[in-house]
């Protein structure tokens, strides 16, 4: 049975650098419609303390999700015959949302649009989208692994792309979390005992289904028909800390490994304090202590939360030596983990070829 390895990476980091001062002129309201009485300076300071976000990236008005997905794909496919792709899988949540039109556009699929932009003629390069919340890119990796292990595919392009700036409520403090971006990887079949070793996915919908959802603006004078991304941040924090570490341990158990053998833990960049709490809980499960800065690279302070794009972007930057002292060598073990709308969680154990 073949194994699945990553052979190419790419990402697109938007050119508009939006620092926290950008929000000083915003009017923030609560879910009850009441205006926040704190000064924006205090709001932003507290926000930074909780999330560690200093800045984020937005796309320019002429670009969209399918555009940046395509750019990241080109990076991952450098030197590769595109006609040899068996699948193109794109994780996203809102499709193309034009700068002057808030409606989500998903027909044709973002994956079909990317295939069109790549000018691939092969009709058996099957393109479809993966809607799985923030864990969508990682779920695409899991699907790619199934295709390759079954013998149905030898080459799969997996992309995560999002333009959350287009669906963020300017009157909601949580809008400061969201950003835009895209990341892609090319995965291929190999006979070597490397690559994806195991994975675990779960969906908690009984009580947690609507912790992330769409809703009306908190602004009292905003168009009531337009919907924005909304979340119960405190409940999501508790849910993620409670469950992500267990999923990571399950995936390591399936691979016959322990945390002591893991070189890097790559977690969806949602909130630095939350990711640190998840890692602390993981350490507790293994009754060990490690320096979080050594094992968990972070990009959220300067890239914000770009949903499905955070993990593939993180891995691309890591592979290209752009994350300070973080590096992965052949034989190193990395764990990928994500949590998001659904509520969905997944974890994947990967051995560097």
Statement: residue 293 has pLDDT above 90: no
Dump pLDDT digits (tens) for 220-268. Answer: 887 778 899 999 999 999 999 999 999 999 999 999 999 999 999 999 9
Dump pLDDT digits (tens) for 75-104. Answer: 999 999 999 999 999 999 999 999 998 889
Percent above pLDDT 70 for the chain: 100
Whether omega for the bond prior to residue 108 falls within 30 degrees of 0, making it cis, is yes
Return phi, psi of residue 239, to 5°. -60, -45
188 plus 201 within the same structural domain: no
* Residue 20 banded pLDDT, cuts 50, 70, 90: very high
SS (H, E, C) 245-310: HHHHHHHHHHCCCCHHHCCEEEECCCCHHHHHHHHHHHHHHCCCCCCHHHHCCCCHHHHCECHHHH
Identify the CA nearest to 338 among candidates 199, 235, 206.
Answer: 199
63 plus 104 within the same structural domain: yes
The pLDDT assigned to 49 comes to 93
Q: Give the residues across from 250 on adjacent strands.
A: none
Q: Which one has a higher pLDDT value, 213 or 293?
A: 213
178 plus 321 within the same structural domain: no
Structural domain ending residue among the three candidates 172, 193, 214: 193
Structural domain ending residue among the three candidates 145, 171, 193: 193
Q: Return mean pLDDT, the chain.
A: 95
The whole-angstrom separation of Cα 340 and Cα 67 is 23
The pLDDT assigned to 117 comes to 98
142 plus 48 within the same structural domain: yes
Please tell me the total count of domains within the chain: 2
The pLDDT assigned to 343 comes to 95
285 plus 180 within the same structural domain: no
Residue-range definition of the domain harbouring residue 25: 3-193
Dump pLDDT digits (tens) for 119-176. Answer: 999 999 999 999 999 999 999 999 999 999 999 999 999 999 999 999 999 999 999 9
45 plus 141 within the same structural domain: yes
138 plus 226 within the same structural domain: no
Structural domain ending residue among the three candidates 193, 218, 250: 193
Whether omega for the bond prior to residue 255 falls within 30 degrees of 0, making it cis, is no
List alpha helices for the chain, DSSP H: 40-51, 65-76, 110-117, 136-150, 233-254, 272-285, 292-295, 300-303, 310-319
CATH classification at residue 236: 3.40.47.10
């Amino acid at each position: 049975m073949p194994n699945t390895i990553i052979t190419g990476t790419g990402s697109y980091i938007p050119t508009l650098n939006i620092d926290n001062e950008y929000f000083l002129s915003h009017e923030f309201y609560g879910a009850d419609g009441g205006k926040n009485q704190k000064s924006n300076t205090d709001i932003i300071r507290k926000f930074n303390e909780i999330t560690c976000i200093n800045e984020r990236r937005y796309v320019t008005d002429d670009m969209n999700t399918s555009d940046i997905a395509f750019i990241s794909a080109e990076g991952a496919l450098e030197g590769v015959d595109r006609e040899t792709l068996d699948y193109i899988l794109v994780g996203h949540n809102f499709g193309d949302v034009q700068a002057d039109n808030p409606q989500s556009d998903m027909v044709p699929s973002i994956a079909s649009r990317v295939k069109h932009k790549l000018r691939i003629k092969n009709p058996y390069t099957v393109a479809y989208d993966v809607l799985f919340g923030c864990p969508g890119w990682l779920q695409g990796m899991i699907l790619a692994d199934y295709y390759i292990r079954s013998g149905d595919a030898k080459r799969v392009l997996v992309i995560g792309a999002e333009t959350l700036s287009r669906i963020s409520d300017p009157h909601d403090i949580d809008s400061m979390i969201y950003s835009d971006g895209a990341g892609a990887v090319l995965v291929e079949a190999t006979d070597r005992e490397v690559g994806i070793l195991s994975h675990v996915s779960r969906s908690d919908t009984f009580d947690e289904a609507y912790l992330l959802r769409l809703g009306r603006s908190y602004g009292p004078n905003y168009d009531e028909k337009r919907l924005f991304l909304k979340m119960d941040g405190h409940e999501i924090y508790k849910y993620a800390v409670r469950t992500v570490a267990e999923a990571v341990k399950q995936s390591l158990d399936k691979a016959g490994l322990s945390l002591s053998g893991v070189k890097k833990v790559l977690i969806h960049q949602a909130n630095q304090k939350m990711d640190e709490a998840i890692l602390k809980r993981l350490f507790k499960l293994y009754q060990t202590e490690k320096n979080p800065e050594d094992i968990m690279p972070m990009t959220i302070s300067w890239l914000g939360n770009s949903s499905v794009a955070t993990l593939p972007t993180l891995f691309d930057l890591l592979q290209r030596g752009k994350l300070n002292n973080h590096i992965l060598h052949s034989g190193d073990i990395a764990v990928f983990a994500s949590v998001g709308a659904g509520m969905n969680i997944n974890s994947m154990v990967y051995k560097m070829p």
